[in-house]
Amino acid sequence: SAVISQKPSRDICQRGTSLTIQCQVDSQVTMMFWYRQQPGQSLTLIATANQGSEATYESGFVIDKFPISRPNLTFSTLTVSNMSPEDSSIYLCSVEGRGTTEAFFGQGTRLTVV
C-alpha cells in the first residue's frame, strides 16, 4: 500500500484568495489524482497529474481555477484559485497502488470559504 500525506488537513479561507494543497507519497508513483467531494456528495475527479507533463483535467474543471504541479514522482500540489463559497469541499489526493488497480487516498483537506 501507499501512505499519502496531505497538508493542510483543513483551512478556512477568505473568498478571492487561493489555497495550495500539498500531497506527499511515501513511494514513487506514475499517476496522482485530485478529487473534490462537495458536502454530502460523492467524489468527483478534478484532474490526473503526471510527472513531466501538464495535468489532464476532467470536464468542468480548468487549469486557471485548479492549477496543479507535479515536480517529481512523490509529490503534487493542487491550488484552488480565487475561491468562492462554492469551492467549500473536501479535496483528496489519490494514487494507484503498484502492480494493482487499487487506489489509495490521503486523509483529505477540508476547505471552507467564507
Partner 1 sequence: GEDVEQSLFLSVREGDSSVINCTYTDSSSTYLYWYKQEPGAGLQLLTYIFSNMDMKQDQRLTVLLNKKDKHLSLRIADTQTGDSAIYFCAEITDKLIFGTGTRLQVFP
The site for partner 1 (CB under 8 A) is made up of 4, 6, 33, 41-45, 48, 58, 92, 94, 101-108, 110
Minimal distance, residue 82 CB to partner 1, in Å: 26
Residue 96 DSSP SS3: strand
- Taking the least distance from each CB to partner 1, the nearer of 22 and 81 is 22
DSSP code per residue over 17-43: --EEEEEEESS--SEEEEEEE-TTS-E
DSSP code per residue over 79-94: EE-S--GGG-EEEEEE
Cα separation of 31 and 1, whole Å?
Answer: 15
- Taking the least distance from each CB to partner 1, the nearer of 6 and 76 is 6
Minimal distance, residue 5 CB to partner 1, in Å: 11
- Taking the least distance from each CB to partner 1, the nearer of 87 and 91 is 91
Minimal distance, residue 49 CB to partner 1, in Å: 13
